[in-house]
Amino acid sequence: QRNAVVTNHDMDWKRLWRTDYWGLEMFDPNTWTHKSFRPLVVLTFRWNYWYHGFNSAGFHITNVAMHAGASAQLGFFAYTVLRLPALWSALLAALFAAHPVHSESICYVVGRADIICTQVLMLAIQVYGPCASAAGCGALQGWLRLAVTVLLILVAGLCKETGFTFFGLLVGWEALCLTR
């Protein structure tokens, strides 16, 4: 059975929000589902389907491009937030790109959830990072950055459930900043 949200000609927005990753009804008591709720990733599958149909090459090329983007984003994160030298940041990005642990995220189409969640969480860190630094930021800028960060964490959670755990990491980051 194909996921109707991905393959149907008309977009059913209500169905997107009530079905799991595999297109199964989450709230139907007669249907078993593991309740992986990843609507934003399903939307990217829909876009791939529009462009490539069921030709898997398009899905894999998209995953490779997204992984390359995540690797570059990690290098930028290392340079701007962690303040590593440019060479070390580039090395970190290259190791991330080539590390075998990421092969499933690239080779398997469903691994896209990991890639998108990673990208959005790194963006959240980059948005919030200046407020957690020793220099800090103003009250208005701090609240604005916090609001954007919370929104990005919610987006990451809608890509993969583990994205929601970053709320705890954000609290831990703040606790460590208070002990400075």
Residues of the chain with pLDDT below 50 are none
* pTM of the shown model: 0.88
Amino acid 72: pLDDT: 96
Per-residue model confidence (pLDDT) at position 50: 92
CB atoms under 10 Å from CB of 10, counted, come to: 6
Nearest Cα to Cα of residue 121 among 163, 159, 151: 163
Enter the tokens of residue 168: 């705890």
**Which residue is listed with tokens 């997107």?**
16
Give the pLDDT score at 135: 67
Residue 75 sits at φ, ψ, to 5 deg, of -60, -40
Percent of the chain having pLDDT more than 70?
Answer: 97
